[in-house]
Homo-oligomer: A and B are copies of this chain.
Amino acid sequence: MAEASFWQELETLLGARLVRTKADCDLHGRSETWFTPTPPEAVAYPQSTEEVAALTKICNAHRVPVVGWGAGTSLEGHALAVQGGIVVDFRHMNKVLETHPEDRLVRVQPGLTRQELNTDLRATGLFFPVDPGANASLGGMAATRASGTTTVRYGSMRDNVAALEVVLADGRVIRTGSGAAKSASGYDLTALMLGSEGTLGLITELTLRLHAQPEAISSAVCAFDTLEAAVETVQMVMQMGIPMARIEFVDEEIACVFNKMNGSSLPEKPHLMIEFHGSDASVAEASARFGEVVTDMGGADFQWATTTEDRNRLWKMRHGAYSACLAARPGCMGLVTDVCVPMSRLAEAVAKGRAMLDAAGLTAPILGHVGDGNFHAIVLLDRDNAAELQKAKDVAHDLAHMALDMGGTITGEHGIGMGKRYMMSEEHGAAWSVMGAIKMALDPHNILNPGKIVPAPGEAC
């Protein structure tokens, strides 16, 4: 527990925007998944970069942990204050600061959510494409290097953040990147901050790359008799270079959940959910080529979403899959796996994953951003069954291990957080200690989201 002078300094800075009630600390001590709640000692609600900088400087001087908080939607417990300290909730820093349609750039604050941004952009003919399932904050998405259904075409946060403003551990404010389309000027600190999960700095401003609303959009679902046929179709489509804007897999269990929770009428089979963006001619061409592959692979039951409303309903359903699965089995909690493998290994990986989950006797529908080689199992767990949770963790570990053996990664998009730090050494070898050296250089007192990503001070690696 920090000393009294620390709290005085922080209260002088933030006044009523420093909250130490149990209720607020508890709210900021929970995650969307199975991790044990760990409430912080206080929640700060800064209104400006200057306040974040001053707050961090005080915390650094008193060696008190600082953990950023966006929308609280991460799936690996990134924002849990596992070593106590202050959670910095960015909800008041949620403005669109400046839109540059002619440069396809927008400058925003970190607490803004992706849906709020796209609502704001509606009149410009532009949009921000990265769409993790949840309506996450853009700061959080940057901190976790998030991606989503459109990454197969538009890339992830790595590709769509042009510049950042970041508060460092000692309270200094830096700017990374520029408004240019590219740069060869020194170390790529923007990329270094993306995915650093708040361990190297607190993101206080983002300049994001926007894309033109496509002239034509075409979406559909189609069904397959087997998981293998659906995933092999994806491999084939990607190898043929058919330009997909989205290509998502959901298994038959999820199709059932969709029917039950969303009133859809999908066959109880594995499905692909797809979308094409482009000119009228290019979308028609891509759809036709895709249709041919599906037919060859025994797929059928195409349902085209022809109106904007139908399309929105389709992707809302897809994005709501996690909460729908949880809601379909009241009282349960979820553990979501997140491996990503080279495209050539995808069908094998999904089939092996299915077999591992089945062998463990777990209820675990599979879905994924299969155009990226990335898939998830949503393991549905009884809250009070410790043995079941352990089984789920064991399979998640085996899946991650399999991904490494195939030349892939232990996390495609959810990040490291609490759940995967113990596997960092296995994935990165000596490179993990390089991450630790960088952390130590930028945050020598280890106040920024301690206990995440890097080796702890003194930990063997």
Residue-wise, chain A 6-45 has the 8 Å CB interface mask toward B (1 for contact) of 0000000000000000000000000000000000000000
> Is A173's beta carbon under 8 Å from chain B?
yes
Contact stretch, chosen from A63-71, A144-152, A299-307, A324-332? A144-152
**Docked pose: A434 CA to B444 CA in angstroms:** 13
Residue-wise, chain A 241-270 has the 8 Å CB interface mask toward B (1 for contact) of 100000000000000000000000000000
Closest B residue to A194 using CB positions: B188
Q: Out of B102, B184, B406, B416, name the residue touching A185 (CB < 8 Å).
A: B416
> Is A407's beta carbon under 8 Å from chain B?
yes
Contacts of A406 in B (CB 8 A): 179
Query: Shortest Cβ distance from A45 into chain B, in angstroms?
Result: 26
In the bound complex, do residue A182 and residue B340 qualify as a contact, i.e. CB atoms below 8 Å apart? yes
Do A180 and B407 form a contact, CB below 8 Å, given A342-B105, A430-B172, A435-B189?
Answer: yes
**Docked pose: A172 CA to B430 CA in angstroms:** 8
Contacts of A235 in B (CB 8 A): 102
Contacts of A195 in B (CB 8 A): 184-188
Query: Shortest Cβ distance from A173 into chain B, in angstroms?
Result: 7
Contacts of A386 in B (CB 8 A): none
In the bound complex, do residue B100 and residue A176 qualify as a contact, i.e. CB atoms below 8 Å apart? no
Q: Which residues of A contact B (CB under 8 A)?
A: 100, 102-105, 144-147, 151, 156, 158-159, 168, 172-176, 178-189, 191-192, 194-196, 200, 212, 235, 239, 241, 278-279, 281-282, 285, 338, 340-344, 372-374, 403, 406-416, 420, 424, 427-432, 434-435, 437-438, 440-442, 453-454
Closest 4 CB pairs between A and B?
A: A191-B191, A179-B407, A441-B441, A183-B409
**Extra contacts besides A174-B428, A180-B409 (16): CB < 8 Å:** A100-B342, A102-B344, A145-B183, A168-B430, A168-B434, A174-B431, A180-B374, A181-B340, A185-B415, A185-B416, A185-B428, A186-B424, A186-B453, A188-B195, A189-B431, A440-B441
